[in-house]
Amino acid sequence: MPKWATPDRQAHLVKLWLDYGNQCLYGHKACLNPNHYLYTEPKGVTKPVPVKLPCRDTEGNPILDKDGNQLYLTVYGTKTETVYKPKVARLYDLKSEQAIKAWIADDRTQSQAEWQAERKALHSLAERRYPLRGQFSTISKDIFFGNQPQFYIEGIGISGLTFQPFAKVRLASSYMRLHIYLADSLKGLGKNARRKALRYGRLSDTAYRQISLAVKHYLDH
């Protein structure tokens, strides 16, 4: 189902059919005149427009041909014209199409407004953003911040500059990311274990403890 097809809007389409179903554009039921189903719809069409510009050299002097006549260069601009396209429809088809177009425009406007609100939240201070459709209560907020960890590990990789393993870490309730070198914390692991650590983020207790100390040092300073 398309996004605009909410239950209320589908019910409105049913009402339109009950009001205008099987009618021509003039409101006649079971009309036998084919001309009563014809109408024109305006549509904007972009067309090329030739424009002649005089040729000039780098110093702004006119460029002439061998007979001393000004040379011109033809370039093309554009202009929009309205054309009327003939269409065939019943009265219900016309009413329902107009309603659907209005709903799609409303949904697009709503989506843009929500995107702008989210973009504004993401580009403001690096603090936790509460849901747009409501906020935590005081108690639930304290429980949430009290139970969450200090950081979240987003990935493990090898630096292209130092060829050393590092962890990409996001601080809790923040958009701040830290790149923490793991140094020798993976040296005690076998080849297969190091590969799994880099591919699946399975860190040893030593590596996890090293990340915790680096995050604590960053927060304290």
pTM over 0.85: no
Distance CA 74, CA 31 (A): 54
- How far is 143 from 120, CA to CA, in rounded Å? 27
Q: Give the tens place of pLDDT for each residue, 145-172.
A: 555 677 777 777 777 677 777 888 888 7
DSSP code at position 196:
H
> What is the chain's mean pLDDT, rounded?
80
Of 204, 136, 205, 202, nearest to 173 by C-alpha is: 136
The pLDDT, as a whole number, for residue 166 is 82
pLDDT band at 24; cut points 50, 70, 90:
very high
- How sure is the predictor about 185, in pLDDT bands with cuts at 50, 70 and 90? low
Give pairs for 199-208: CB < 8 Å, separation 24+. 201/153, 201/155, 201/156, 203/153, 203/156, 203/167, 207/167, 207/182
pLDDT value of position 161: 72
Which residues are within 8 A (CB) of 68 and not within 5 positions of it... i.e. 6 or more apart? none
Mean pLDDT score, 58-84: 89
